[in-house]
Amino acid sequence: LEAIVEDLAVRLEARAASNPGSREADSGLLIDTFPHKTPKEYSLLLTFVRLLKVDTVVVMDIDKLYSDLQRDLANQGVKVVKLPKSGGVVSVSQDRQYRKQADRVLVSEYLYGKSRELCPRHVIVPFDKLHLFRTAPAALAPRDALPIGQGEPVGRGRPEVKRVEP
């Protein structure tokens, strides 16, 4: 995960540097992270802050996380802000068993439907009856190769569908 975030940070920085004064260069980035339960996850959060050059961290209703971040980010110039929960917000249970069950219910609803109206099942198809297709974006001519007066490249938005022989 750290390598992915590092790659993202490099790409974001390059994009902002390549177009100074653009929206990417002048705007910020909002990062929503996963809950931090273990020291490894907390360390990963600190790594994200460092790699993405975060200047403000907002912590919602977790006093320990807030104080830990204040302690660990104070020397890096990162501002840590505590945001209280609104009155009507209900906390999701932190119970691991409850979360596993909730995940199972969501996957089941996705596969079978809320009222079990869907019926996914295995189907065995003989290989000689199988037809495979590949979609690819249509070949686009460069703008300077187009006839004078034609604005958009030919074939834009229409993918090619090609049969693939197994």
Select, from the ranges 28-32, 39-43, 118-122, 158-162, the one with the highest average predicted confidence (pLDDT). 39-43
Residue 64 to residue 125: CA distance in whole angstroms? 56
Which pair of structure tokens corresponds to residue 65? 């996380």
φ, ψ for residue 60, nearest 5 deg: -105, 110
Asked if residue 61 lies in contact with residue 85, where contact means CB atoms within 8 angstroms, the answer is yes
User: Which pLDDT score, from 0 to 100, does residue 67 have?
Assistant: 92
Instruction: Return the H-helix or E-strand segment holding 72.
Output: helix 63-73
Beta strands 56-60 and 79-83: pairing type?
Answer: parallel
Which pair of structure tokens corresponds to residue 109? 């609803």
Query: Which range has the worst mean pLDDT, 22-31, 77-86, 102-111?
Result: 22-31
Per-residue pLDDT for 1 more than 90?
A: no
DSSP conformational letter for 53: T
